[in-house]
Amino acid sequence: MQGIVTAAYGKRYGVELEDGRQISCVTRGKKNDLACGDVVQVKLTDSHEGVVESFNPRSSLLYRSNAYKTKLLAANVTQVVIVLATQPSFYEALLNRCLIAAEAAGIGVLIVLNKCDLAKNDDAMQALKLYQGLGYQVQPLSAKQDIEPLKQWLKGHTSVLVGQSGMGKSTIVNALLPDLQVRTQEVSTVLDSGKHTTTAAHLYHLDENSHLIDSPGLQEFGLHHLSVDQLERAFIEFRP
């Protein structure tokens, strides 16, 4: 029986079957090498649980790694939406690493500058002009006020939201799917950093042809899996 991974909780996965049922699954053996968005073949063990026998070939895979482990973020996505904010301030080094990972995986990128209603965004937009000059699309957004500017970019895509904690990814998901109410927390103004709210990746259906994966907030994005040549090719400004 075929399904799609809609949630990843360590060694367990939420899988939506073709008939619409949601079940909980484990993988065979000790390997946990599935990501949200993976299309899998499942053997049911009862009406609400199953075992993943295999997964279909992926059209894309976004992941990060360090010297010790690899973390799969999303499979079969067509767009990486990197969410930044005017408050708290974003780490440009983390943005660059997300861009490199997306470019290396051959996945399109949209940069979203969220919370434009909370603070003056002149400095942030100025910093992002460099990326616009390289050809990246940058969309200013106030997710709590008006989510419409983002919707046009998500239409027809399977997108994954990535970004450091506190950038407003859960608020974006709530605005797109108001009946869902993903839990959010206030940003720590003392530390100028966000409190981690999303602890597992989740896939949501926006419409029949548009899907969204919300991934946990990042504090780092390791690129240990990329060779020097791959890193060089991932910088679009170095391409001929």
Band of residue 146 on the pLDDT scale cut at 50, 70, 90 = very high
Give the start-end residues of each E strand in 68-196.
70-75, 79-85, 108-114, 137-140, 158-162
Cα 12 from Cα 29, distance rounded (Å): 12
Higher pLDDT pick, 31 / 83 = 83
Percent of the chain with pLDDT over 90: 53
Q: Which of 19-23, 120-124, 227-231 has the highest mean pLDDT?
A: 19-23
Q: What is the pLDDT of residues 173-188, one digit of tens each?
A: 999 998 875 544 433 3
Band of residue 240 on the pLDDT scale cut at 50, 70, 90 = low
Q: What is the mean pLDDT of residues 55-81?
A: 90
Indicate if the pLDDT at residue 45 is higher than 60.
yes
Band of residue 72 on the pLDDT scale cut at 50, 70, 90 = confident
Bridge partners (DSSP) of residue 63 are 72
- Angle, CA of 136, 148 and 63, to the nearest 5°: 45
Band of residue 101 on the pLDDT scale cut at 50, 70, 90 = very high
SS3 category, 239: coil
Whole-prediction pTM:
0.87
Q: What is the pLDDT of residues 200-218, one digit of tens each?
A: 789 999 999 999 999 988 7
Q: What is the mean pLDDT of residues 110-125?
A: 84
Question: At 6, which helix (H) or strand (E)?
Answer: strand 2-9
> Tell me, what's the pLDDT at 86?
83
Indicate if the pLDDT at residue 197 is higher than 70.
no
For 193-234, give the DSSP string.
BPPP---SEEEEEEETTEEEEE-PPBS---BTTS-HHHHHHH
Domain boundaries, the chain: 2-55, 61-214
**Domain 61-214: which CATH class?**
alpha beta
> Tell me, what's the pLDDT at 102?
94
Q: Quick check: 87 and 119 in contact, CB under 8 A? A: yes
Indicate if the pLDDT at residue 108 is higher than 80.
yes
**Domain 2-55: which CATH class?**
mainly beta
Q: What is the mean pLDDT of residues 16-34?
A: 87
